């Protein structure tokens, strides 16, 4: 008879040896699992602590704040009053109109332009690296530099843009000073600053399209436009929808550009966005409850887009 071994690995399949050994083995397995989990959680703990303090706790707090009010240093439950205050604020509706206008214009420019640019760049057999570099250059500038530079270009008196319009015999604009053109001016600057990322992503997607598809379309007699419609767009549909959702989510939260370019509100409040209104509520009026209520509205509206984005990108993973 072989000498009984105490190694747990061998003891486990031989339960006959007695209950003592078995509990010993399972205890060792338990200790091993415990040690494994302890060290695994040791690797996790730093990030989890940061998330707890600076992400999860603020998330919970956002919901609590939205239903609280602070008066004279005392914080009490406010029910729905923060939300009704916000809904009754005329600035709320104006901010939403402005934000939707910004989102619409930004998508028109910021979604369509990079795709067209990517389509054109993809055809070039020369200087593609140089052109890609150019498009992405503004993305790397500190936003304050590009924004203040645009402010200088937009200046109705000495700005370069009006000078160019003058040379082209086009009517000069007040740009940021005119409530009708202020938001458009912000969108143009924002598109210049941010279009590089989308362009490069589209370019990569276009380069993934198999050439045979175009050849097949040509055999069927398709022209350039029909090739775009029947080959390019269906082949890049996933990336296009993902980018569309991402841009909707990002542009609805616009803050920095109107804040720096037009001082936030802009002429007659024409560039007040929802996030700028949150900023005003919190840091100008010290009304954190109102700010949180505004945030909650934005969160609920964007949640649908975010969920769609996550689902789509998961689907893309599985393909």
Partner 1 sequence: MSSTRTLISPAQLARPRGRFLYWVVFALVVGLFTLVFLGPLYWMVSGGLKTTQEVVQSPPTLVPRTVHPENYSRAWDVMDLSRLLFNTLYYALGALAFQLVLDVAAAYSLSRLRPVFGRAILAMMMVTLMIPATVLVVPQYLTVLDVPIVERNLLNSPWVIWLPSVTNAFNIFLLKRFFDSIPRELLDAASIDGASRMRTLWSVVLPISRPILGVVSIFAVVGVWKDFLWPMLTLPDPAKQTLNVGIYSLANGVPENVLIAALAIASVPTLLIFLVFQRNIMSGLTAGGLKG
State which of positions 26-55 bind partner 1 (CB under 8 A): 36-37, 39-41, 43-44, 46-48, 50-51, 53-55
- Residues 225 and 222: their CA atoms lie apart, in Å, by 8
Give the C-alpha separation, 113 to 243, whole Å: 13
Bridge partners (DSSP) listed for residue 70? 75
85, two tokens: 């205050």
Nearest to 187 by CA among 126, 116, 247: 247
Residues 195-224: x/- map of binding to partner 1 (CB under 8 A)?
--x--xx-xxxxxx--xx-xx--x-----x
Complex with partner 1: residue 101 or 299, whichever CB lies closer: 299
CB of 266 to partner 1, least distance (A): 16
Reduced DSSP (H G I as helix, E B as strand, rest coil) percent helix, strand, coil of the chain, to 5:
80, 5, 20
Of the listed pieces 4-12, 17-25, 86-94, 232-240, which binds partner 1 according to CB under 8 A? 232-240
Q: Which stretch binds partner 1 (CB under 8 A): 18-26, 79-87, 102-110, 118-126?
A: 118-126
Query: Does residue 248 touch partner 1 according to CB under 8 A?
Result: no
Q: Looking at beta carbons only, is 108 or 224 nearer to partner 1? A: 224
Binding segment for partner 1 (CB under 8 A), chosen from 19-27, 79-87, 100-108, 249-257, is 249-257
Provide CB contacts within 8 A for 209, sequence distance 6+.
Answer: 231, 232, 235, 236
Q: Please identify, among the stretches 1-9, 17-25, 56-64, 99-107, the one whose residues bind partner 1 according to the rule CB under 8 A.
A: 56-64
The minimum distance between CB 287 and partner 1, in angstroms, equals 10
- Determine contact, residues 241/305, Cβ cutoff 8 Å: no
Q: Which of residues 130-189 bind partner 1 (CB under 8 A)?
A: 130-138, 140-146, 148-150, 152-153, 157-160, 163, 166
| Stretch of 2-10, 84-92, 100-108, 280-288 contacting partner 1, by CB under 8 A | 280-288
**Binding residues for partner 1 restricted to 250-269, rule: CB under 8 A:** 252-253, 255-256, 259-260
Of the candidates 28, 62, 89, 178, which one interacts with partner 1 according to CB under 8 A?
A: 62
For 316, left (φ over 0), alpha (ψ -120 to 50), or beta? alpha
CA distance 212 to 161: 45
| Residue 14 binds to partner 1 (criterion: CB under 8 A) | no
Structure tokens at 42: 């040791």
Contact 135, 118 (CB under 8 A): no
The C-alpha atoms of residue 132 and residue 199 are separated, in whole angstroms, by 8
# of chain residues touching partner 1 (CB under 8 A)? 110
């Amino acid at each position: 008879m072989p000498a009984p071994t105490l190694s747990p690995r061998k003891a486990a399949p031989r339960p006959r040896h007695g209950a003592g050994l078995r509990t010993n083995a399972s205890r060792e397995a338990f200790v091993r699992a415990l040690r494994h989990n302890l060290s695994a959680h040791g690797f996790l703990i730093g990030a989890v602590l940061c998330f707890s303090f600076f992400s999860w706790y603020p998330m919970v707090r956002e919901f609590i704040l939205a239903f609280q009010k602070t008066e004279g240093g005392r914080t009490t439950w406010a029910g729905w009053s923060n939300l009704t205050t916000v809904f009754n604020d005329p600035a709320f509706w104006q901010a939403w109109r402005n934000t939707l206008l910004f989102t619409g214009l930004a998508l028109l420019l910021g979604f369509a332009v990079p795709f067209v640019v990517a389509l054109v760049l993809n055809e070039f057999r020369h200087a593609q690296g140089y052109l890609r570099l150019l498009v992405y250059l503004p993305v790397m500038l500190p936003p304050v530099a590009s924004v203040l530079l645009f402010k200088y270009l937009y200046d109705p008196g000495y700005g370069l843009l009006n000078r160019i319009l003058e040379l082209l015999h086009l009517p000069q604009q007040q740009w940021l000073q005119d409530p009708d053109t202020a938001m458009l001016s912000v969108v143009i600057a924002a598109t210049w600053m941010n279009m590089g990322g989308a362009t490069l992503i589209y370019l990569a997607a276009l380069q993934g399209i198999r050439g045979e598809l175009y050849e097949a379309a040509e055999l069927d007699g398709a022209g350039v436009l029909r090739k775009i419609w029947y080959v390019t767009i269906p082949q890049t549909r996933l990336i296009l929808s993902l980018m569309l959702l991402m841009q909707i989510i990002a542009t609805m939260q616009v803050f920095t550009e109107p804040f720096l370019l037009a001082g936030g509100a802009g002429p007659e409040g024409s560039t007040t966005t929802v996030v700028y209104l949150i900023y005003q509520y919190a840091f100008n009026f010290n009304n954190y409850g109102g700010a949180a209520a505004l945030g909650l509205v934005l969160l609920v509206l964007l949640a649908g887009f975010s969920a769609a984005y996550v689902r789509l990108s998961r689907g893309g993973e599985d393909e």
